[in-house]
Amino acid sequence: MIVRWTLEALERLIEIEEFISRDNPRRAKHFIEVLVGEGQSLSENSLRGRSVPEIADPQIREIIVNNYRIVYRSNRDQIEILTIFEGHRRFRIDEINE
């Protein structure tokens, strides 16, 4: 199955890398590689994530990587990574561009 990253998700990755880079650029690069790898691995098992508790849409799921939430939509043809954010925040559907 194809994994497609939305502009929103890519922008969040850049922000995360920039934030972590302030203290440790090498660690930032490695962590972004981990996040991308986990997102791409959804192509093998899109149902491994849980439903996002804040919304009632069974197609929108998430996986937790360290303290970040990778939110994605799964359908028959593709996995769409919608956004990534720190786990202490609540997911708001209006944060993603439809």
Measured between alpha carbons, how far is residue 65 from residues 58, 61, 94, 97, 98 in Å? 20, 13, 22, 22, 24
- pLDDT tens-place string over residues 26-64: 999 999 999 999 999 999 998 889 999 888 888 999 999
Is residue 98's pLDDT more than 60? Answer: no
Domain 2-88: CATH architecture, name and number where available: 2-Layer Sandwich (3.30)
- pLDDT tens-place string over residues 66-78: 999 999 999 888 9
pTM for the structure as a whole = 0.89
Query: How far is 43 from 29, CA to CA, in rounded Å?
Result: 22
Q: Which amino acid is at 39?
A: G
